[in-house]
A = this chain, B = another copy of it.
Amino acid sequence: MSEIRVAVIGAQGRMGSHAVAAIEEAEGLALVAALGSADSLDAVLDAQADVAVELTVPRATEDNVRFLVEHGIDTVVGTTGWDAERLSRLESLLAEHPGTAVLIAPNFSIGAVLAMHFAELAAKYFDSAEVVEIHHPRKLDAPSGTAVHTAQRIAAARSAAGLPAVPDATESDPHGARGAVIDGIHVHAVRQLGMNASEEIHFGADGEALTLRTDTFSTSAFMPGIITAVREIGGREGLAVGLENYLTL
């Protein structure tokens, strides 16, 4: 079986440079192009890449992906900034290019993706559910996008199962210790020097607790997810949002 030819766009960033190294080491993958911000996307075509890994910045990503799809190149996207409008335009474009696939993954950590999936499965069996995320103190927003997404998926699963609101008799909370409430699920954000990105999902029922914890210590944690996506995308078409769509669960 021949190797998958991979181009990395945004190869000079932190994620990009890790991806370059990971692709070079991965069995069955060949790195054929590594583009920086000054390089033309034509290099991806010249290199006859099968798959592109797009790891740039929000303002560049949509144009890049459009160009790649128009040239029939399957693309794994790790850049953020894909709102509903952008996704809708991309879906229309992909409809005109059958056989081409795009995976947009807000989080390439397989552990985080699994934890979210497990949370969704567990949600209906527990009265209480809460999310605590811990990040480095340089983070600008709270709570993390992953924590918000986790809470939303738990809430949707509870709702689908007909569960009532989580039990909570709090009458007095003058300083807001009960945290953010996202679709009825409480979310807490801890900022701690020395930590990178962790999430703890708490489920409680009478006499019982289930806790799912995921820790991402470094950028290398995202490489298995990227490699899995690159290997998997050849057999797909159309748009998928979320790495979980490419995992066997």
Contacts and interface: CB of A to CB of B under 8 A. Distances in A.
A130 interface: yes
Interface string A157-199: 0000000001111111111111111100011111111110000
Interface residues of A, number: 75
Contacts of A178: 142, 179, 189, 191
Interface of chain A: mostly helix, strand, loop or mixed = mixed
Contact of A170 (B140, B182, B247): B140
A186 B137 CA distance: 12
Contacts of A138: 167, 169
Give how many copies assemble into the complex: 4
A237 interface: no
Contact of A194 (B118, B175, B176, B217): B217
A64 B68 CA distance: 61
Among A109, A111, A214, the one with the most B-chain Cβ atoms within 10 Å of its Cβ is A111
Among A109, A171, A204, the one with the most B-chain Cβ atoms within 10 Å of its Cβ is A204
A88 B26 CA distance: 46
A220 B207 contact: yes
A175 B171 contact: no
A216 interface: yes
Interface string A85-104: 00000000000000000000
